[in-house]
Amino acid sequence: MLIVIVAYQQVENYFFSPRVTAHTMEIHVALAFGSVIAGTALLGIVGAFLALPVAATAQAFISSWLDEHTERATAAEASPAPDPPPVETAASGGEEE
């Protein structure tokens, strides 16, 4: 009976939990699954607990940065370059003697 409980717990932790958490955190299932595996490999059980919040935070920062970067690039392409200021010459109103 203990083997069945442990097997069920492993299946739930590795397959169902990442899908549910990914849906609620709006991250891709593969990213959630991969981050849990990587977190477990790096830091053990603590890494497994911290993997999804770290992955969601990283995704939020990266997507915000990309949105800002593409917005700036689009704005720079859409707006024409400003006209240079006029150059004053001696004949057009320089200093009088």
Domain tally, the chain: 1
Residue 52 burial by Cβ neighbours in a 10 Å radius (0-12, 13-18, 19+):
buried
Q: Which residue has the higher pLDDT, 88 or 66?
A: 66
- Per-residue confidence (pLDDT) for residue 29, from 0 to 100: 81
Q: How high is the pLDDT of residue 71?
A: 81
pLDDT tens track for 30-86 = 888 899 899 999 999 999 889 989 998 998 899 899 988 888 777 777 766 667 777
67 vs 97, more confident: 67
84 found inside a domain = no
Tell me if 51 is assigned to some domain.
Answer: yes
The predicted structure's pLDDT at residue 42: 95
Domain assignment of residue 69, given as a range: 2-74
More confident residue, 89 or 44: 44
* Residue from 48, 57, 50, 49 nearest 27 by CA: 57
* 58 in any annotated domain: yes
